[in-house]
Amino acid sequence: MSPAVAPNKASVTQSSGSQGRADLSAYPICLERASRWYGQIIGLNDVTCFIAPGLTALLGPNGAGKSTLLKLVTGQLRPTVGRVTVMGRDPFANPSVYRQLGYCPEIEASYDELTGRQFVALMAALNGLRGPLAAEKVDQAIETVGLTPNAGRKIGGYSKGMRQRIKIAQGIVHDPAVLVLDEPLNGLDPIGRRDISSLLQNLARLGKCVVVSSHILHEVEQMTSTILLLNRGRMLAQGDLHAIRALIDSHPHRIAIAAEDARGLAGRLLELPYVLSVRFDADDARCFEIETQEPESFYAQFPDIVLESGAVVQRFDSPDNNLDAVFKYLVNG
C-alpha cells in the first residue's frame, strides 16, 4: 500500500505485504492488500494487517472504512481485490468459519418480543447447538455478560446497556475464537462503557481474538493499547497506541483552561519552562489556551499549581487530545 505515514515515523508500525506467509498462522485475522469498491466509491483501499489474539481496537472517524473491514472479516462482503482470511480460511459464505466467529453488529438486530434467554437460545440453535449442551451454553453466555437476573425479561424492555450485553451473549454462546464488535460502546453511559470494556478485556484474556471498532479515541484508551488506525479507506498505522500518542505529544500541544483568576493562573503557568505561549479568549476573560511541548509534564504538574494558587478551574481539556488530532498528525505531520 502507499504509506500514509512518513518513513521517519518508525515507532508506528505500518501495514505492509512483506510479512512471510509462514508467520501468518499466529494471526486469526489476516488482510493482504485487501480492497473493496462500491462502484466508483472506495470503501477499503489496499489494506494489509494481521490481527493477533487479544483485544484490538479499530479506530477511525465515520466513513473511514471500519464497517467495510468488519464486513470483510465476518464474511458479509468479499474483497474486490486482495485476500482476507479468518482462522486461515476465506470467511465469505463459509459456515466452517462462522462456527469460529462471533459478531455483534452496531445496528439493533435483536427481537424485542423475545426474552434475552430466548434470543440467545435462537442464536445458539443457528450455530448448531442443540439439547442440554445448548441450554448450558446459553446460561453460561448470559452469566458471562451479567444478565442472568434479567434473562427472562423481553428485550423490548431492555436498556441500551442491556441490549449491548445480550448482543455480546449471542456472539459468544458458541465459544468462538474470534469476536468482532462494531461500535459496542456507542450510546452507553460511563458505567455501561466501563462494564462492557471490562467484559471484553476478560474475553481477550481467555485467548480470544477480540476486535472492537470505535470512532472515539478515549473510549478505547483504557481498554487496549493495540490499535489499527483507518482513514478514508486506508490503514494509517497499526501497533501500540502509546507509541502513536508519544508522537503526537512530541509536537506543540494545546490545552484549554477556564478559571476565575485566569490571568493569575496563566502567569504561573508561563513560568514553566515547557509552556510556549498563552492566548486569551477575546470573548471570555476566564478562558485561555496554553501551548506546551511536554504535555505529560504539564499534566503532572498542573494539579499542584492549582492547589498552591487556590485557583478555581472550571474547564480543562485539550483540542489536540482526540482522534482527529491523531489523524491530522499522521496524514499531514
My answer on whether 234 and 266 are in the same domain is no
In a domain, 96, yes or no: yes
My answer on whether 234 and 204 are in the same domain is yes
Q: Which of 246, 279, 300 is the last residue of a domain?
A: 246
Of 23-32, 271-280, 282-291, the least confident: 23-32
My answer on whether 310 and 194 are in the same domain is no
In angstroms, what CA-CA distances link 93 with 32, 100, 151? Answer: 19, 13, 31
Per-residue pLDDT tens over the stretch 198-242: 999 999 999 999 999 987 777 787 788 898 989 889 998 888 877
pLDDT value of residue 215: 79
Number of domains the chain contains: 2
This prediction's pTM: 0.73
Q: Higher pLDDT residue, 241 or 259?
A: 259
SS3 99: coil
| 193 band by pLDDT with thresholds 50, 70 and 90 | confident
Q: Is residue 65 scored above 60 in pLDDT?
A: yes
In a domain, 148, yes or no: no
Cell readout for 181 is 464488535
Q: Higher pLDDT residue, 12 or 29?
A: 29
Nearest in space to 278 (alpha carbons), one of 266, 286, 264: 266
In a domain, 319, yes or no: yes
My answer on whether 189 and 297 are in the same domain is no
pLDDT value of residue 9: 32
Q: Is residue 149 scored above 50 in pLDDT?
A: yes
Q: Which of 201, 219, 246 is the last residue of a domain?
A: 246
CATH value at residue 316: 3.30.70.100
My answer on whether 93 and 216 are in the same domain is yes
**Residue carrying C-alpha cell 509552556:** 275
Q: Is residue 179 scored above 70 in pLDDT?
A: yes
pLDDT value of residue 114: 96
Q: Which of 246, 263, 287 is the last residue of a domain?
A: 246
- Report the residue count for the chain: 333
What is the SS3 assignment for 161-192? HHHHHHHHHHHHCCCCCEEEEECCCCCCCHHH
CA 70 to CA 64: how far, in whole Å? 12
| 245 band by pLDDT with thresholds 50, 70 and 90 | low
My answer on whether 238 and 266 are in the same domain is no
> How high does pLDDT run on average in the chain?
86
Domain, as residue range, for 260:
251-332
β-bridge mates for residue 86, sequence order: 29, 89
Q: Is residue 99 scored above 60 in pLDDT?
A: yes
pLDDT value of residue 6: 28
Residue 81: which H helix or E strand, with range?
A: strand 81-86
My answer on whether 197 and 321 are in the same domain is no
My answer on whether 239 and 291 are in the same domain is no
In a domain, 119, yes or no: no
β-bridge mates for residue 212, sequence order: 57, 181
My answer on whether 227 and 284 are in the same domain is no
In a domain, 294, yes or no: yes
Q: Which residues contact 20 (CB under 8 A, 6 or more apart)?
A: none
My answer on whether 86 and 190 are in the same domain is yes
My answer on whether 283 and 212 are in the same domain is no
My answer on whether 192 and 291 are in the same domain is no
CA 178 to CA 31: how far, in whole Å? 15
CA 241 to CA 218: how far, in whole Å? 11
